[in-house]
Structure 1
């Protein structure tokens, strides 16, 4: 059995700060009171233990209260991505068979002909209270959240995430990173995403403060980090790059109180890691996904410089192996452990996520002689040119190290002679010509890996968690 997170935490450390937003703070006791109030009002609206609801909102304290209120009411929460279109959201609502949609009042979405009730946050707050009998323990198999994959191939799948999945993920993480009584996690990741929700889970399991931001603000984040107001943070490559540019422009350095910056969402350019080291930012690459309730592997602090570019070793409860061919050390990454989803819902309910206990991730990587995982790229993004495998991330890594390149995205373009060739999309911070980039790439890459065309753009296509969406680059072509 797993203790009901918030109930247990409010009992253990009721006066410790749970949440901070702007100038406001809430203790764990106050957080429990807010969540209980919402849970009782959800009962009044006919929502019962075991039912599935959908939740759509931005990263605000009200969203935090609503999430915990749903958990206290025993509801399964379908976490909807606020950056999707109305039609995409309607599809997920239908596929998930949620009995109701809980909608943030700030949302601009207009849903018509929806075959289920919509409850705005203000509707819920205005409701009366009903009696609520809260359980103090959960079955490990209890589904807490459901999050849809990004749907890079085919329709997105609704991933079940259980009490055991989330709890084992949090415990594995703390065994790797450690914990101090002053820990405060700066959360700028969307709460509907696994990276954001996992921070809330860690907060109540560890008794740790969450410093919440509705959106990523590189200037505010740089200020928090250099003043030592927060100790840990999660980023992706794009947000790390924006933060580094501010810290370099203002000549800022991370406070010694800042302990960890987890960098995930895909390979981080080595140039970013070197620049972060100059700003005293302890960046640790991590590897995980929706189906693994966040982290599967993370580089430890002691190995950050020795194994730069690695995602580290599997966390304590987890296992990783590489499905390789007979003569190649690079192959698909397979994952096993208590953090792996037991299955999907909706149209994918009959699909087993694992084969012989191993989850095939769709990522390509290798494990070095010391057991450290290196992610090369997504299998679906692989470019095969004249029989040679080309990984876009390798080219992006080189381009990102050019002093005038802010960001780079690479995808394959059909070619009559070679089948496919790499092309690059560049966000620059100064005047740069294609011939300069070609020459730069030729210094660092084999000829067949050098992009055959460069397109200069204002920004790259990214999803809600700021991951580069390469299929959009192909659509641009």
Structure 2
């Protein structure tokens, strides 16, 4: 029988203590009144989860515009938790670490997974290095790429680690290759109640039958493309209707796809269309700092390809030379200009806001 959103698994624990559905109200009030800011966010969400409504309001990340509040069905969150549990073979009594902000969907779903699946959840203050000072191991956790980058020394404290909230760079993937952790990149958004597909990131995860070149969907999720070759997600247990995205993909099947880039990032330069993310993938072999490809107006080309790097002390001439010697890069993909910035504009969840960052150059 499928659990509903009023169920609390008998094996569920929060910071080492079991709480019933009724008990959680008291915990939530305590967090709101006496907790630190990260605990207050968790408490506010718990109160929403325990009220009489069948939905919660969730804030989007704002990576492609202003954050907005949307309604998410509580039962959809239950189905999402069950799909994650099935995919990663999570069992009642498994330990989990919650180190994400609880004011966004990814952090909220960590709590719901624990409640529904019966996980023993430890909640710690979100930070760039959440594993620092932790002296125990966990069977499951979720982190952002930035958190993983800062936790590589201790990442073996996690058995299965899902990474989302931003693209996993090739540099980070190389660093994870020989780490003893089942590391997976996730694909999803607030509207899909976090991830609907995963891709393995390292050799250590090979025993779990997931591709390391493309994303594979969770149970009850199928995908297709629209006329723009953008991903369309059909997840009836999560959403009432298909979700049309702006992510350009290459389909491998109804349940697997390769992510190529964002439709709204496509550059038309001299009549040739470029997907910035594909150029970035090639450049990632020679650039260690954060960077991205964008376009700027050009009288002859219409738009020209430019490169922005987050490094105030960058040796531009040296980087230009390295790019020109990069054999994988087509001559038309070569950035016409390189700009260095001390800091990129980010969303509250750490994602780069490309347009706002580009506007810093004006």
| TM-score normalised by structure 2 residue count | 0.84
Return closer, same or farther for 1:73/1:359 CA change in 2, 3 Å cut-off: closer
- State whether residues 45 and 102 of structure 2, in contact with CA within 8 Å, keep that contact through their aligned partners in structure 1: no
Residue 309 of structure 2 is matched in structure 1 by 426
CA deviation profile, 1:98-142 (whole Å, cap 9, x unmatched): xxxxxxxxxxxxxxxxxxxxxxxxxxxxxxxxxxxxxxxxxxxx2
Residue 58 of structure 2 is matched in structure 1 by 146
Residue 190 of structure 1 is matched in structure 2 by 101
In the alignment, does 2:25 pair up with 1:35?
yes
Runs of at least 5 residues in structure 1 that lack an aligned partner in the other structure: 43-56, 76-141, 326-330, 343-356
Does the residue aligned with 1:406 lie in a helix, a strand or coil?
coil
C-alpha distance in structure 2 between counterparts of 1:306 and 1:449, whole Å = 32
Matches within 5 A, 1:293-312: 293-299=193-199, 301-302=205-206, 307-310=211-214, 312=215
- The match for 1:378 among 256, 262, 285 is 262
In the alignment, does 2:244 pair up with 1:336?
no
Return closer, same or farther for 1:72/1:334 CA change in 2, 3 Å cut-off: same
- Kindly state the Cα deviation for residue 194 of structure 1 after the two structures are TM-superposed: 1.1
C-alpha distance in structure 2 between counterparts of 1:9 and 1:323, whole Å = 40
Does the residue aligned with 1:175 lie in a helix, a strand or coil?
helix
Question: Matched residue pairs, number?
Answer: 351
Residue 323 of structure 1 is matched in structure 2 by 226
C-alpha distance in structure 2 between counterparts of 1:406 and 1:63, whole Å = 32
Residue 8 of structure 2 is matched in structure 1 by 9
Residue 271 of structure 2 is matched in structure 1 by 387
- Kindly state the Cα deviation for residue 228 of structure 1 after the two structures are TM-superposed: 4.8
- State whether residues 285 and 299 of structure 1, in contact with CA within 8 Å, keep that contact through their aligned partners in structure 2: yes
Residue 74 of structure 1 is matched in structure 2 by 52
C-alpha distance in structure 1 between counterparts of 2:2 and 2:42, whole Å = 21
Residue 296 of structure 2 is matched in structure 1 by 413
Matches within 5 A, 1:235-254: 235-244=143-152, 247=153, 254=156
CA deviation profile, 1:391-445 (whole Å, cap 9, x unmatched): 222333344433x62321232212222222222222359x652233223334131
Matches within 5 A, 1:136-285: 142-148=54-60, 150=62, 152-153=64-65, 157-181=68-92, 183-218=94-129, 220-221=130-131, 224=134, 228-244=136-152, 247=153, 254-255=156-157, 258-285=158-185
- Kindly state the Cα deviation for residue 298 of structure 1 after the two structures are TM-superposed: 1.4
Return closer, same or farther for 1:38/1:408 CA change in 2, 3 Å cut-off: closer
- Kindly state the Cα deviation for residue 17 of structure 1 after the two structures are TM-superposed: 2.5
CA deviation profile, 1:264-303 (whole Å, cap 9, x unmatched): 2343222321211133343211110111111111136447
Matches within 5 A, 1:85-100: none
- The match for 1:26 among 8, 17, 27 is 17
Return closer, same or farther for 1:308/1:461 CA change in 2, 3 Å cut-off: farther
C-alpha distance in structure 1 between counterparts of 2:187 and 2:76, whole Å = 16
Matches within 5 A, 1:25-64: 25-29=16-20, 32-36=22-26, 58-60=37-39, 62-64=40-42
Does the residue aligned with 1:185 lie in a helix, a strand or coil?
strand
